């Protein structure tokens, strides 16, 4: 930094440094990075960690301070080094180099070894002056140059079937079915968070890659250096925007819902029917109009409907049946509701048409913290104090039914709706999460929501894919939609089993074998997503509507509900990995096999946690129905099959047969109606729980530990108190299990940690999987070695 040294040099040497000193004054080191002033721009580079770098660009004529709604981490630069040469200034952390052109403000990023990560285009920052609610601002664009062959993922959830977004154009604007999440994830091991809340167009074309936002006082983005790994990118994103808290363990069980249960007797009756049938169930959902059928009372947050005369008794009965209840809430209110009247009196309602289509239902301004306080006040008084377990926050986009350009002039507490719109789901879910956390630490927050934004994982949210149609092509598109959201950093996603709208395709609904086949295959997919939840309108979705035990649709569905419950130890341990290690449960194959070119844009299969390769069946195979109005029976006379690609770099064991196959090949897998192609990575250590009717029913039962030989492997089993926040204070325990393939030995290491109610001693049944034993849903007759474990290291030879 020669410009700082000149004042200490003798006059004789000063002339030698004048030119370099004058050059160096183009940039200034700051506490977190550096600041460069060009003829027209101010460019700031701020290190939030050695791997996270913020770039902030503003026209020199209009510099403003910006507080991010998304970022929760404070800058922590660590040790930085500066150098300047040939009009370029370089600032380096131990892992990341940032190079700024002092004349143009162009920024590029490299690894510590100087390998290119990402570069802006020269003169790629563009500001177009405009007015927003009579305030001077800009349309902002930033152009980047990606590398040839580079794949890019993320950007939220879009129902377009794409996984790799090279060569694509995506409109980032919240609406039902589409989730705008301005996070780009590159196959080169870095990510970009574009911190802007207005409608934004992402385009990748020959001319370059651009984020183009309708409103912005500045260009503001973060480079996330994952140091070459996809998990590293996600970890940096969560470090910057907030970690995902633990959900209650019971949320991993099976959920039943429909549009809608019309009385408390019907709601409770569904739970009672499941218990009588012996089909597991943990969650029941009460959808809309429990407040009454008058839209002027829309979302009154009270049980005004005469079909719900005693909501406390309803919840008490559901809890007595060892189930939990979720209820639908909205960001909008009818004019006769108490929340509407208070919010209207304080000018906290927007003036646009939402659903239901009436001018008397209005959306509240969730950007105003005082409005969020009011929202929770009524939610707490009318519902939460009854003991409600979870929230279905519907239409958090929020839903808008008139042309968008007329909505945008609404004024929020933080500026125009045009400027803030995409962040609405973040602030409205955040209001409920923060208030419930303040109310109690005994019940974990669980929010199911239709929309999301960057940072929302910290609000205890599970996103669902919206009101999708009941079609095979829609089912197929759920897979890349889910994987894109996961690679953008949000770990929890699910969808309506069977699709929300069946009537156009299946007017006979659940009585149509064609719908039964679609629903059954969709449910198999859902068993390997973070939430397994049946829901939809137009036809009932309860398992007993599909026939009796012994019928193909009932039995195939029951099989996967049972399997879901056996997977609970695996699922809950993976949930802990999400919370403690910024893990990802729904894993696009490029995350784990970046060197396998065949998976770069493979959207038909995925990993579910570290062990499972899942290939959902997304086409009709057994019901050929030429006329949708004339149902025909299923024809199982010939067993169908699908192609499955087994990624290179691992060998794979068929979950149902135990057969092991090498990676790097495409195989044909037979698909009877009750078989989802499912493979386990060799080396996996898989914990399975007992069959049970609800989560926690048999916590004292032995756990089955399956070992899939062919490689070394390990798994960390996690346990805690299941539905409070004591884990944040260290009240949990882990057991590390490690398989040594050469020695054929499984080691249970010393238990780490403890919690109230922990089993001090337990039994494990250890099974070595082969083609004769230890496969499928159950392995009760498989040869197993019984291990008595009391918290101290022990090993077993297989």
Q: What domains can you pick out in the chain, each with its CATH number?
A: 1-27 (no CATH), 31-241 (2.60.40.1760), 250-584 (3.20.20.80)
Q: What is the C-alpha to C-alpha distance for residues 543 and 15, in angstroms, rounded to an integer? A: 87
Task: Pick 408 or 118 by higher pLDDT.
Answer: 118
* pLDDT of the residue at 478: 98
Q: What is the C-alpha to C-alpha distance for residues 203 and 195, in angstroms, rounded to an integer? A: 17
pLDDT in tens, 151-189: 999 999 999 999 999 999 999 999 999 999 999 999 999
pLDDT in tens, 459-470: 999 999 999 999
Q: What is the C-alpha to C-alpha distance for residues 269 and 255, in angstroms, rounded to an integer? A: 14
Respond yes or no on whether the N-terminal peptide bond of residue 442 is cis (omega within 30° of 0). no
397 is catalytic: yes
Residues, the chain: 798
Asked if the model's pLDDT at residue 19 lies above 50, the reply is no
Asked if the model's pLDDT at residue 718 lies above 60, the reply is yes
Band of pLDDT at residue 773, cut at 50, 70 and 90: low
| pTM (predicted TM-score) | 0.95
Mean pLDDT in residue range 6-31: 44
* pLDDT of the residue at 547: 96
Asked if the model's pLDDT at residue 778 lies above 80, the reply is no
Q: What is the C-alpha to C-alpha distance for residues 663 and 207, in angstroms, rounded to an integer? A: 38
Band of pLDDT at residue 15, cut at 50, 70 and 90: very low
Asked if the model's pLDDT at residue 253 lies above 80, the reply is yes
Residue 664 gets which letter from DSSP? S
Query: Residues 102, 287, 467, 562: which is the catalytic one?
Result: 467
* pLDDT of the residue at 642: 98
Band of pLDDT at residue 533, cut at 50, 70 and 90: very high
Among 134, 299, 549, smallest CA distance to 557 is for 549
Q: What is the C-alpha to C-alpha distance for residues 143 and 200, in angstroms, rounded to an integer? A: 13
Q: What is the C-alpha to C-alpha distance for residues 676 and 769, in angstroms, rounded to an integer? A: 19
With vertex at residue 508, the alpha carbon angle to CA 506 and CA 509, rounded to the nearest 5 degrees, is: 65
Q: What is the C-alpha to C-alpha distance for residues 190 and 487, in angstroms, rounded to an integer? A: 11
pLDDT in tens, 495-508: 999 999 998 899 99
Respond yes or no on whether the N-terminal peptide bond of residue 260 is cis (omega within 30° of 0). yes
394 is catalytic: yes
* pLDDT of the residue at 7: 24
Mean pLDDT in residue range 535-542: 96
Among 763, 716, 757, smallest CA distance to 739 is for 716
Percent of the chain clearing pLDDT 90 (strictly above): 91
Band of pLDDT at residue 318, cut at 50, 70 and 90: very high
Asked if the model's pLDDT at residue 540 lies above 60, the reply is yes
Mean pLDDT in residue range 253-268: 97
Asked if the model's pLDDT at residue 251 lies above 60, the reply is yes
Question: In this predicted structure, which of 59-63, 284-288, 644-648, 732-736 has the lowest mean pLDDT?
Answer: 59-63
Query: Residues 217, 220, 397, 723: which is the catalytic one?
Result: 397
Q: How far apart are the first and last CA of the chain?
A: 64
Mean pLDDT in residue range 671-683: 98
* pLDDT of the residue at 771: 85
Kindly give, in sequence order, each residue whose CB lies less than 8 Å from that of residue 387, ignoring residues fewer than 6 positions away: 312, 315, 316, 319
Mean pLDDT in residue range 374-386: 98
Mean pLDDT of the chain, nearest integer: 94
Asked if the model's pLDDT at residue 6 lies above 70, the reply is no
Mean pLDDT in residue range 203-217: 97
* pLDDT of the residue at 774: 62
467 is catalytic: yes
Kindly give, in sequence order, each residue whose CB lies less than 8 Å from that of residue 296, ignoring residues fewer than 6 positions away: 334, 335, 336, 337, 360
Kindly give, in sequence order, each residue whose CB lies less than 8 Å from that of residue 30, ignoring residues fewer than 6 positions away: 44, 46
Q: What is the C-alpha to C-alpha distance for residues 640 and 592, in angstroms, rounded to an integer? A: 29
539 close to 204: Cβ distance less than 8 angstroms: no
Q: What is the C-alpha to C-alpha distance for residues 367 and 413, in angstroms, rounded to an integer? A: 6
Kindly give, in sequence order, each residue whose CB lies less than 8 Å from that of residue 438, ignoring residues fewer than 6 positions away: none
Tokens of 352: 């646009």
* pLDDT of the residue at 147: 97
* pLDDT of the residue at 504: 85
pLDDT in tens, 546-595: 999 999 999 999 999 999 999 999 999 999 999 999 999 999 999 999 99
Query: Residues 195, 259, 368, 394: which is the catalytic one?
Result: 394
Respond yes or no on whether the N-terminal peptide bond of residue 762 is cis (omega within 30° of 0). no
Give 508-571 as a DSSP string.
TGGGSHHHHHHHHHHHHHHTTSS-EEE--SSS---GGGG--BTBHHHHHHHHHHHHHHHTHHHH
pLDDT in tens, 622-650: 999 888 889 999 999 999 999 999 999 99
Asked if the model's pLDDT at residue 401 lies above 90, the reply is no
Q: What is the C-alpha to C-alpha distance for residues 432 and 194, in angstroms, rounded to an integer? A: 25
């Amino acid at each position: 930094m020669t410009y700082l040294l000149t004042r200490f040099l003798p006059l004789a040497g000063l002339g030698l440094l004048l030119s370099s000193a004058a050059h160096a004054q183009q940039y200034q080191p700051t506490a977190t990075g550096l600041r460069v002033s060009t003829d027209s721009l101010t460019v700031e580079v701020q290190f939030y960690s050695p791997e996270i770098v913020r770039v902030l660009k503003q026209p020199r004529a209009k510099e403003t301070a910006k507080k991010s709604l998304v970022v929760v981490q404070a800058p922590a630069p660590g040790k930085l080094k500066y150098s300047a040469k040939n009009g370029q200034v370089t600032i380096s952390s131990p892992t990341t180099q940032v190079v700024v052109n002092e004349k143009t403000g162009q920024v590029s990023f490299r690894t510590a070894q100087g390998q290119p990560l990402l570069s802006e285009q020269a003169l790629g920052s563009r500001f177009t002056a405009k007015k927003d609610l009579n305030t001077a601002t800009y349309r902002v664009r930033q152009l980047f140059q990606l590398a040839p062959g580079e794949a890019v993922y993320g950007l939220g959830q879009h129902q377009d079937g794409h996984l790799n977004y090279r060569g694509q154009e995506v409109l980032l604007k919240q609406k039902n079915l589409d989730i705008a999440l301005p996070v780009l994830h590159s196959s080169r091991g870095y990510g970009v968070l574009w911190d802007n809340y207005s409608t934004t167009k992402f385009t990748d074309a020959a001319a370059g890659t651009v984020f183009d936002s309708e409103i912005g006082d500045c260009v503001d983005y973060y480079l996330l250096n994952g140091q070459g790994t996809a998990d590293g990118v996600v970890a940096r994103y969560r470090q910057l925007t907030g970690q995902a808290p633990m959900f209650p363990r019971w949320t991993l069980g099976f959920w039943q819902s429909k549009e809608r249960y019309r009385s408390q007797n019907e709601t409770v009756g569904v739970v009672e029917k499941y218990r009588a049938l012996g089909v597991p169930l943990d969650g029941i959902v009460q959808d809309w109009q429990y407040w009454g059928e008058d839209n002027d009372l829309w979302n009154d947050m009270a049980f005004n409907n005469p079909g719900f005369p005693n909501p406390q008794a309803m919840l008490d009965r559901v809890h007595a049946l060892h189930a939990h209840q979720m209820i639908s809430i909205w960001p909008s209110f009818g004019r006769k509701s108490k929340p509407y009247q208070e919010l209207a009196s304080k000018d906290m309602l927007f003036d646009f048409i939402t659903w239901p289509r009436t001018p008397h239902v209005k959306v509240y301004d969730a950007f105003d913290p005082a409005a969020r306080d009011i929202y929770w006040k009524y939610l707490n008084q009318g519902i939460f104090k009854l003991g409600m377990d979870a929230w279905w926050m519907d239409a958090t986009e929020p839903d808008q039914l008139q042309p968008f350009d007329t909505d945008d002039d609404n004024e929020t507490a933080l500026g125009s709706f045009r400027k803030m719109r995409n962040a609405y789901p973040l602030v409205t879910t955040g209001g409920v999460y923060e208030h419930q956390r303040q109310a109690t630490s005994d019940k974990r927050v669980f929010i199911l929501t239709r929309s999301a934004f960057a940072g929302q994982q910290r609000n205890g949210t599970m996103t669902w894919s919206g009101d999708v149609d009941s079609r095979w092509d829609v089912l197929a598109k759920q897979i890349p939609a889910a994987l894109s959201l996961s690679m953008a950093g949000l770990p929890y996603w699910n969808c309506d089993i069977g699709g929300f709208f069946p009537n156009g395709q299946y007017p006979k609904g659940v009585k149509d074998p064609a719908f039964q086949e679609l629903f059954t295959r969709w449910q198999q997919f859902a068993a390997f997503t973070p939430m397994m939840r049946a829901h939809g309108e137009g036809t009932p979705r309860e398992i007993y509507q599909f026939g009796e035990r012994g019928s193909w649709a009932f039995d195939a569905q029951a099989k996967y509900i049972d399997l879901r419950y056996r997977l609970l130890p695996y699922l809950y341990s993976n949930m802990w990995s999400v919370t403690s290690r910024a893990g990802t449960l729904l894993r696009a194959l490029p995350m784990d096999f970046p060197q396998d070119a065949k998976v770069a844009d493979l959207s038909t299969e995925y990993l579910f946690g570290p062990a499972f390769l899942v290939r959902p069946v997304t086409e009709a195979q057994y019901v050929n129905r030429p006329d949708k109005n004339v149902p025909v029976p299923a024809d199982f006379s010939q067993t169908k099959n699908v192609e499955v690609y087994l990624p290179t770099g691992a060998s794979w064991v068929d979950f149902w047969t135990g057969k092991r196959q090498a990676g790097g090949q495409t195989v044909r897998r037979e698909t009877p109606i009750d078989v989802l192609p499912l493979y386990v990575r060799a080396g996996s250590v898989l914990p399975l729980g007992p069959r049970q009717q609800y989560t926690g029913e048999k916590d004292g039962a032995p756990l089955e530990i399956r070992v899939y030989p062919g490689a070394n492997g390990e798994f960390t089993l996690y346990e805690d108190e299941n539905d409070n926040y004591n884990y944040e204070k260290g009240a949990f325990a882990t057991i590390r299990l490690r398989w040594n393939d050469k020695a054929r030995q499984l080691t249970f290491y010393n238990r780490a940690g403890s919690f109230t109610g922990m089993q001090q001693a337990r039994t494990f049944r250890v099974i070595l999987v082969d083609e004769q034993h230890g496969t499928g849903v159950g392995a009760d007759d498989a040869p197993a070695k019984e291990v008595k474990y009391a918290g101290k290291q022990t090993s077993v030879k297989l």
